[in-house]
Chain A
Amino acid sequence: MATLSSPVTIDVSKTGQGGGGTRPPAYGGGGDGRGDGSPDYGARLRRVRLGLAIGLTSITMIFVSLTSAYVVRRGLPTLDERTNTYVRDWIPVDLPIALLLVNTLLLLVSSITAELARRQITRQAALAPVRSIPGVSLGEDKAFPWLGVTVVLGGGFLIGQWMAWRELADRGFYLATSASSSFVYLLTATHAVHLAGGILVLLYAATVSLLHKPVEARRIVVDVTAWYWHFMFLLWLYIFGLLWFVR
């Protein structure tokens, strides 16, 4: 990765005591752009990926707690006031399974296009230093807009989820109908909110290119969002599996 980054000037004399300085200055990282020379995009990418992994941990905790609540609530008996006995009131939700399978397929394809976008921009970022050499031309780069396709497919998934909620409502399952339907809406909506966040970041990545930011900076945004997107796909598989197999 480090070989892909733009030239970094390491001022060994400045790093001072101990005569170290083999590590490039940490300045310029994390979008702060502090420091003397060009930002070290390799270090920044590593840092943002690490941040993403840590962020995904907390998202995982949110879904772990919701799963725990789901499983516990599913097993709880409820007092029936007419007979004064404890009864099981968990009603399995009649999921619109065909629609959800289509949505799953949409998200799977979008995950693949996100990966293609990620690889595409990684290649572009690798070639950027070559392009910047005066007189060197690599020809016009006619790149397929994988990023745009991902955003469209992601939007399609959200619309599909909306249709699934409408379908659920038509079948008589509203948010407050029963504990099971509450959890269906809650889990899918929480996932949708996180996915919508991913779409916003992808849109940001697309607009960044219009703001003449260097391709290396854009690459970092696309890279971590693609990983985030894959995580969202796996998370959806998990939620779908939970709602289907633990009805």
Chain B
Amino acid sequence: MATSATIHSHAPQGFIRKYVFSLDHKVIGIQYYFLALVAVFVGMFLSILMRVHMIWPTAVLPLVGEIKPETYLSLLTMHGTIMVFFVLTTAPQGGFGNYFLPIQIGAPDMAFPVLNMLSFWTTFVAFITILAAFFVTGGAPLHGWTGYAPLSALTNSGPGEQLGADLWITSIAIFCIASLMGALNFITTTLDLRAKGMTMMRMPLTVWAWFVTAILGLLAFGVLLSAGILLLLDRNMGTSFYVPLVVVNGQVMGHRGGSPLLWQHLFWFFGHPEVYIAILPGMGVASQLLSTFSRKPIFGYKAMVYAIMAIGFLGFMVWGHHMFMSGMSPYTAFAFSLMTMAIGVPSAIKTFNWLGTIHGGRVRFQTPMLYAIGFVSLFVSGGLSGPFLAQPVLDIPLHDTAFVVGHFHLIMGVAAIFGMFAGTYYWFPKMFGRMMNETWGRIHFVITLVGTYCIFMPMHYLGMAGQPRRYSQFTELAYLHKLIPLNTFITYAAIITVSAQFIFVINLFWSMFKGPKASDNPWESTTLEWITATPPPHDNFGGHTPVVNHGPYEYSVPGAPRDYIMQTDPATVASH
């Protein structure tokens, strides 16, 4: 009995057990992070191909050659899918959540380390499966990341809808299983492995965000999994869940009676919570950083917690707002519209509290803080167009235009990415024991922030002017001629912004080996990851179990010797 316990009490030796099939949540977190890093570059490359094709439709591009309409749809599908699943879902939750949730609650590891390893490697298999779709007969699928039936449910509806689409669905199903395992682990860990004194209301807001995100994942991914299985059956076993009586190329298909709307309902019941799965961890990081770098307690901690819960809850009530175009009853649309606008309330509470946190603080404008402020900026800019689209009367003309592309990229895409950048610059010293370069971090920030606005703000105007989304070519449409310069501007902005990401990658890898050594608590932060060694030992706290006496954001407490009180400091440091 004791033997089995002591054998594993030391860090595993050997490359395979230590770095490949590791059970250590920190290694698994880094694995998730690098998986997402690879995925984000694949996704960005696809987006650049699309942007270039938009302004030079006849150009022959590297790797893909001339972009035909179906190639464009493949690029669009794979860009969306890879970014949503393998970047926005993987890095903030699987990466940072895995690494820092156990440490921030004072646990030695996740509740189920073997399950944790399995969920990473399952995600990895899902990623390989989706990449394989590029290389099969017919190429990658055409049906967009939303995979609307019947396009996605018929194997002869387009060149990419053969094996490519099967691989796409299989990849998503595998990803669902991985995410469910991850969510189970996150929730159990948060509920069961908190250190003594770490009450729920003393958890850092990052932990709250990961916890609520895991609950959303637990409830949402099962639905997508069953939707995907129905889709596979429709494609391969002749069932008619989603496919009505259809004629493809003059040929009557054998299906009858299925409902394409059924797919939309199931997909968006997952799809809308997915938006919050992507953004909530970013909100957590922004809250943590704004407080730390303003040297002030977070403004309205409890309100922040309840706002996260409210956003998570309402996130399940609004999937219909993606389907205003589907001919739903105006009464149903009204209900969905009302619920959607209600999300504005907790979102505004969060924004108000973030601004309240910075207000009057002694703000330290270091790179992580810049990104946290950038997050708030993008969240507001992208969020404000939300209430527009939440109203059916406005959504119907704007729905299939670039307006929506601008909206969701700002709020769900780049804001979440800014959360990841903030997290990277902030936690890098703890993860790798060295500091990232500050100057290049700032340069990277400025180019990325300005570039992001240059790319996505004009899309709102394009959309209002009627530029459709998902069209591979519109340079010959007379009514869009005047918009070509604006499109050209966006493409140049995209190329510059994407190029600037190499600054980040070089900074990341250079600092990993050559950066100045980091102290245990370089940002003078209060949460538990900063009390342990840098990088943390195998069991996180070197055989100790931390005991928590303070809330997570006790900065500038009157009477305290320093301007911050660690969560583990004795309870009598200061009266407050």
Chain A interface (Cβ < 8 Å from any Cβ of B): 6, 14-23, 25-39, 46-47, 50-51, 54-55, 57-62, 64-66, 68-69, 72-73, 76, 78-79, 81, 89, 175-176, 179, 182, 186, 190, 213-214, 216
Q: How far is the CA of A16 from the CA of B532 in the complex (A)?
A: 13
B8 within 8 A of A: yes
User: Cβ of B543 < 8 Å from any Cβ of A?
Assistant: yes
Closest 5 interchain pairs by CB?
A176-B238, A61-B222, A78-B257, A18-B547, A33-B8
Identify which of residues 183-197 in chain B touch chain A, using a CB-to-CB cut-off of 8 Å. 183-185, 187-188, 191-193, 195-197
19 more CB-based (< 8 A) A-B contacts, given A32-B114, A37-B2, A81-B245? A6-B1, A17-B568, A18-B196, A31-B114, A39-B5, A47-B193, A50-B188, A54-B218, A58-B222, A61-B222, A62-B223, A64-B223, A65-B266, A73-B258, A89-B257, A176-B239, A176-B240, A182-B233, A216-B1
Interface with A: B93-101, B102-110, B383-391, B476-484, which one?
B102-110
Least Cβ–Cβ distance between B25 and chain A, in angstroms? 10
Is B184 within 8 A of A58, CB to CB? yes
- Chain B residues within 8 Å of A54, by CB: 183-184, 187-188, 218
Sample (25) of A-B pairs whose CB atoms are under 8 Å apart: A18-B547, A20-B196, A20-B197, A26-B108, A27-B108, A30-B113, A33-B9, A34-B8, A35-B108, A35-B539, A51-B112, A54-B184, A59-B222, A62-B225, A64-B223, A65-B226, A65-B227, A65-B269, A69-B226, A73-B262, A79-B245, A175-B238, A176-B239, A182-B233, A182-B239
Nearest B residue (CB) for A69 = B262
* Contact between A73 and B241, CB atoms less than 8 A apart: yes
| Range for the number of chain B residues in contact with chain A | 35 or more
Pairwise interchain contact B544-A16, C-beta atoms closer than 8 A: yes
Give the docked Cα–Cα distance between A94 and B98 (Å).
49
Residue in B closest to A78 when the chains form the complex, CB atoms: B257
Report whether A214 and B547 are in contact in the complex, using a CB–CB cutoff of 8 Å: no
**Inter-subunit contact B222/A76 (CB<8 Å):** no
Question: Distance in Å from the Cβ of A239 to the closest Cβ of chain B?
Answer: 14
Contact of B8 with A16 in the complex, beta carbons under 8 Å = no
* Residues on the B chain within 8 Å of A47, using CB: 111, 188, 192-193
Across the interface, B9 reaches (CB within 8 A) one of A6, A15, A35, A175, namely A35
* CB contact under 8 A between A30 and B570, given known A57-B218, A179-B241: no
Instruction: Give which listed residue, B111, B193, B240, B546, contacts A179 with CB less than 8 A.
Output: B240
Whether A33 contacts B257 in the complex (CB less than 8 A), given A17-B568, A18-B571, A175-B237, comes out as no
- Assess whether A22 is in contact with B545, with CB atoms less than 8 Å apart: no
Shortest Cβ distance from A43 into B: residue: B192
- Chain A residue at smallest Cβ distance from B185: A51
Please state if B539 and A34 are interface contacts (CB–CB under 8 Å). Answer: yes
* Residues on A with beta carbons closer than 8 Å to the beta carbon of B113: 30-32
| Nearest chain B CB to A159 CB, angstrom units | 23
Within the complex, the shortest CB–CB distance from B72 to chain A, in Å, comes to 32
Q: How far is the CB of A41 from chain B (nearest CB, A)?
A: 10
Q: How far is the CA of A245 from the CA of B538 in the complex (A)?
A: 55
A6 contact set on B, CB distance < 8 A? 1
List B contacts of A182 (CB < 8 A): 233, 239-241
Give the one of B23, B107, B184, B187 with max A CB within 10 A: B184
Task: Give complex CA distance A17, B198 in Å.
Answer: 13
Judging by beta carbons under 8 Å apart, are B547 and A73 in contact? Answer: no
Q: How far is the CB of A132 from chain B (nearest CB, A)?
A: 9
Contact A61 B2 (CB under 8 A): no
CA distance A23 to B107 in the complex (A): 13
CB A242 to nearest CB in B, in angstroms, measures 15
- Given A27-B539, A61-B222: A69 touches B241 (CB 8 Å cut-off): yes
List A contacts of B570 (CB < 8 A): 17-18
Query: Are B256 and A78 closer than 8 Å at their CB atoms?
Result: yes
**In the assembled complex, which residues on chain A have CB atoms less than 8 Å from the CB atom of B114?**
31-32
A16, B570: Cα distance in complex, Å: 10
* Residues in B whose Cβ lies below 8 Å from that of A50: 111, 188, 191-192
User: Which of chain B's residues have a CB closer than 8 A to the CB of A79?
Assistant: 244-245
Q: Which residues of A contact B192 (CB under 8 A)?
A: 46-47, 50
B221 contacts the other chain (Cβ, under 8 Å)? yes
User: How distant is B370 from chain A, measured CB to nearest CB, in Å?
Assistant: 34
A38 touching B1 in the complex, CB below 8 Å, given contacts A16-B546, A27-B539, A175-B233: yes
Give the CA-CA distance A35 to B539 in the complex, in Å.
Answer: 8
Contacts of A51 in B (CB 8 A): 111-112, 184-185, 188
**What separation, in Å, do the CA atoms of A114 and B419 have in the docked complex?**
48
- A179: chain B residues at CB < 8 Å are 239-241, 257-258
Q: Is B467 on the interface with A (CB-CB < 8 A)? A: no
Contact between B222 and A65, CB atoms less than 8 A apart: yes
Asked if B323 is at the interface (CB within 8 A of a chain A CB), the reply is: no
For the complex, what is the distance from the CA of A241 to the CA of B9, rounded to whole Å? 49
Residues of B within 8 A of A35 (CB): 5, 9, 108, 539
* Separation of A66 and B265 alpha carbons in the complex (Å): 12
Chain A positions within 8 Å of B184 at CB level = 51, 54-55, 58
Closest to B269 in A: A65
Distance of A186 Cα from B539 Cα, bound (Å): 44
Once the chains are docked, how many angstroms separate the CA of A178 from the CA of B571?
Answer: 68
In the bound complex, how far is the Cα of B226 from the Cα of A175, in angstroms?
16
Closest A residue to B266 using CB positions: A65
A33 and B226 form a contact (CB under 8 A): no
